[in-house]
A and B are shown apart, each in its own frame.
Chain A
Amino acid sequence: MSDDPSVVQFPWPTVARQREGVAFGMWTFLGSEILFFGGLLLTYAVYRTLYPQAFNSGSAATDIFYGTINTALLLTSSFIMTMALRGSESGSRGVVAACMLTTAAFGLAFLAVKGLEYAEDIDKHLVPGPHFPLHPPARLFFAFYWVATGVHAIHLLVGILVAVFLGIRVALRQMAPESTAIEAASLYWHFVDSVWIVLYALIYLPGRSGA
């Protein structure tokens, strides 16, 4: 890795040291994100222990088709993001720009599918409130559903904006393809993907066998 002055930022003496700093800084931030989502998952675990059948009936009312499509979209976007990082390591401007923008496009597709799902959920009154069709404790499940998927969607939107911003800057030659910002964006994107994998298992899969 060259110590290109357009890549090395103050106060790092070399790209290698800067890369190490970026990874450490991002993982520290992601540690705080793990704790943030950990609190949400803890509430799910406690209430599911208290009301297992309500959570099963709530989960069975969600649309697993949308959930599975969205998981496949995010897994694919993560793969494309790894290609962006490999392009960054080899200094390939075209690969980095194309992969960052394609990753963002997959993220947008996820949000579009999520929007269709939200519209269907609202249509079925699956929102805790006066016309909620399921047994009252299932409101706890749907409170978790709306908060967790909503917060995840906001995280994904941030990731999309970052990917578009970096992709365009690299394409316009305003940023070197070897920039360590690509690695930081990649770590964030994969993390948001991994949060969704856990949410998918908790939201869409239980209570579907009819048992």
Chain B
Amino acid sequence: MTWGVLRHAGVWILLLLLLGATAASSSFDLGENGAVLRLGIAGLQVLLIWLLFMDLLGSSSLVRLCAISAFLWILLLFGLTFSDYFTRGWNGTSTRYPARTATW
């Protein structure tokens, strides 16, 4: 068995351990930190897959630039949308959040 196979097997086991950790964390009340932790673990898993399984680490600069540019657009999408939603209450006018239908 070559070093490359062992390395990929190690990454696979690490991914499964991270899955176990994030599944177990859902049983504990971690407040707002829980969402950050779970999304952080998901982000780490995706990063491991992209860098090692999809070999972005060993790819050319052109390929890496292509992958990063997709995230630049996602950043713009989320940034512009939430800059609207999070500031709607600032001027106290009709651009506030729509009335919530839920009564929690």
CA–CA, A23 and B34, complex, Å: 36
Q: Is A53's CB within 8 Å of the partner chain B?
A: yes
CA–CA, A204 and B38, complex, Å: 11
Q: Knowing A50-B100, A193-B49 touch, does A201 contact B31 (C-beta < 8 A)? A: no
Q: Knowing A51-B100, A68-B23 touch, does A23 contact B59 (C-beta < 8 A)? A: yes
- Tell which of A29-37, A147-155, A174-182 binds the partner: A29-37
CA–CA, A106 and B50, complex, Å: 20
Question: Interface readout for B18-44 with A: 1 if CB under 8 Å, 0 if not?
Answer: 010011011111110011001101100
Q: Which residues of B contact A88 (CB under 8 A)?
A: none
Contact for B70 among A31, A86, A136, CB less than 8 A: A31
Q: Contact check, B69 vs A209: say whether CB atoms are below 8 A apart.
A: no
CA–CA, A187 and B58, complex, Å: 14
Question: Interface readout for B50-87 with A: 1 if CB under 8 Å, 0 if not?
Answer: 10011000011011001101110110011001100100
Q: Knowing A35-B73, A78-B49 touch, does A27 contact B67 (C-beta < 8 A)? A: yes
Query: Smallest Cβ distance from A152 to chain B, in angstroms?
Result: 14
Q: Which residues of A contact B66 (CB under 8 A)?
A: 24, 27-28, 31
Chain A interface bracket (under 10, 10 to 19, 20 to 34, 35 or more): 35 or more
Query: Smallest Cβ distance from B73 to chain A, in angstroms?
Result: 6
Q: Write the chain B residue with the least CB distance to A31.
A: B70
Q: Which residues of A contact B93 (CB under 8 A)?
A: none
Q: Is A11's CB within 8 Å of the partner chain B?
A: no
CA–CA, A147 and B54, complex, Å: 26
Q: Contact check, A211 vs B4: say whether CB atoms are below 8 A apart.
A: no
A interface: dominant SS: helix
Residues of A within 8 A of B (CB): 20, 23-24, 27-28, 30-31, 34-35, 38-39, 42, 45-46, 49-51, 53-54, 64, 68, 71-72, 75-76, 78-79, 81-83, 86, 135-137, 186-187, 190-191, 193-194, 197-198, 200-201, 204-206, 208-211
Q: Contact check, A82 vs B15: say whether CB atoms are below 8 A apart.
A: no
Q: Contact check, B97 vs A50: say whether CB atoms are below 8 A apart.
A: yes
Q: Which residues of A contact B85 (CB under 8 A)?
A: 46, 49
Further contacts, 9 of them, CB under 8 A, given A205-B38, A206-B38: A23-B63, A24-B60, A27-B66, A30-B70, A46-B81, A75-B16, A81-B53, A82-B8, A86-B2
Q: Contact check, A190 vs B49: say whether CB atoms are below 8 A apart.
A: yes
The CB with the most chain B CB atoms within 10 A, among A24, A31, A39, A193, is that of A31
CA–CA, A64 and B38, complex, Å: 14
Query: Smallest Cβ distance from B46 to chain A, in angstroms?
Result: 4
Q: Contact check, B31 vs A211: say whether CB atoms are below 8 A apart.
A: yes
Q: Contact check, B27 vs A208: say whether CB atoms are below 8 A apart.
A: yes
Contact for A205 among B16, B25, B97, CB less than 8 A: B25
